[in-house]
Structure 1
Amino acid sequence: MQKLIRTLGFAMLAFSLASCRLVYVPDVQQGNLLDKKVVDQLQPGMSKHQVLVLMGTPSVATPFDQNRWDYVSTQQHRGGPIKVRTYTLTFNNDTLVRTEGDFFAQDAQQMVKDSKKYHASYPVDETEGDKSKSKDDSSSKDGGFGSGTSTDDKGGN
C-alpha cells in the first residue's frame, strides 16, 4: 500500500513540475538555416548547380514541379509558438528566374552566435578522428605490426 502511495506521490510531483514549466524545454530549429550573405549572392540567371553549391539542398523539391525549390525552416523558442519561414526559388530551363519569401536572417545570426558558446574551449583537430596519436607511441603509427611487415596476402589461391 505504501508503494502505491509513494508512486502516486512521485507521479503527481512530476506532473506538477511539468505543468509549472520548471522542466527545461530546448529551442528547436529545423530545416535550412540560411545566411543573409548567401541569400544576397543569389542572382537571376544562375544555374541550378550554382544555386545548389551556394545554398545547399532544398528542404522541399517536388517531383511534380522541378522548376521550384523551397527552403523551409521552422523555429520554436522554449515551447512557444512555431515560426515557419519559406524561401522559394523559381527556375526556368535550369536558370534562376525569381526568389521570394522570407528566412531567419536575424534569428539565424543569433543562433550561430549562441552555438559558438557551446564549442569546446580546448583545441580540437577534427581531421584526426576520435583518438589522437601521441609522438612517442610508435606502434600506433604503423598499426602495431612493426616496420617491414605487411598484412596483405600476396600469394595466390
Structure 2
Amino acid sequence: MSEGITSVITPYKVEVVQGNVVTREMLARIHPGSSRTDVRDALGSPLLADPFHADRWDYVFTIKRQGTEPQKRSVVIWFDGDSVKSIDAPELPSEDEFVASITRQRAEPLPERKLMLTDEERAALPVPKAPEPTEAQPQGAKRSYPPLENP
C-alpha cells in the first residue's frame, strides 16, 4: 500500500505558551522575608493573585511546542502580610537548561558552510576573458537638452 502525501506533510500545530517562566536563578533572588515588591521584581506579576487568598501568589508556566516535550511548572509564594512566608516550588531548570529544553532538535546537523576560498582555490579559478572591442560603442547621449539656466 502506498503511503501517500499525508505521510510527508505534517500539520502545523500552534505553539502555546502561558504564564511566567521561573528559573532557578530567578527564584534564588527571593527568600523568606522578601517583600512583595522584591518578588514582583524578581519573578514578574503572578499569573494568579486571588483577592480571596491575598496571602498566596501563583506563578504557573506551561508550554506546548512542536518538536519538544510539553512543560508545566507551578511556583506558589506564600506571604505573611507584606513579606514572604514560604515558597513551594518544584526543581526548576536553570536558564540555560530551560533554553535547551525549548530548542527544537534537528534530525541531522546542518552541514558546515564554507564562507571564503583559500588562496590556492582562488588561484585555481579560471581567469575571465576581457571583452572584445566592438565597432558600435556607445558615445554618450544622442539627444541634446536645452541648458538649465537662461543666458
Q: Normalised by the size of structure 1, how large is the TM-score?
A: 0.51
Instruction: Give the corresponding residue for 1:43.
Output: 31
State whether residues 90 and 98 of structure 1, in contact with CA within 8 Å, keep that contact through their aligned partners in structure 2: yes
1:60 aligns with 2:48: yes
2:99 equivalent in structure 1: 109
TM-score with structure 2 setting the length: 0.53
Q: Where in structure 2 are the equivalents of 1:86-125 lying within 5 Å?
A: 86-102=74-90, 105=93, 108-110=98-100
TM-superposition CA deviations, 1:102-149 (whole Å, max 9, x none): 2752563326777xxxxxxxxxxxxxxxxxxxxxxxxxxxxxxxxxxx
Q: For the residues of structure 2 that align with 1:21 and 1:72, how far apart are their CA atoms?
A: 34
CA distance in 2, matches of 1:20, 1:80: 20
Do the aligned partners of residues 88 and 97 (structure 1) sit closer, same or farther apart at CA in structure 2, a change above 3 Å counting? Answer: same
DSSP 3-state at the match of 1:38: helix
SS of 1:110's equivalent in the other structure is helix
C-alpha distance 79-109 of structure 1, shift in aligned 2 (>3 A): closer
3-state DSSP of counterpart to 2:53: coil
Rg larger for: 2
Residue 100 of structure 2 aligns to a residue whose secondary structure is: helix
Structure 2 gaps, min length 5? 105-151
Structure (1/2) with the larger helix percentage: 1
Question: Partner of 2:60: helix, strand, or coil?
Answer: strand
Aligned partners of 2:91, 2:52: CA distance in 1, in Å?
Answer: 24
| Aligned-residue offset at 1:78 | 1.9
Percent pairwise identity = 25
Unaligned 5+ runs, structure 1: 1-12, 115-157
Number of residue-to-residue matches in the alignment? 99
RMSD: 3.1
1:155 corresponds in structure 2 to: none
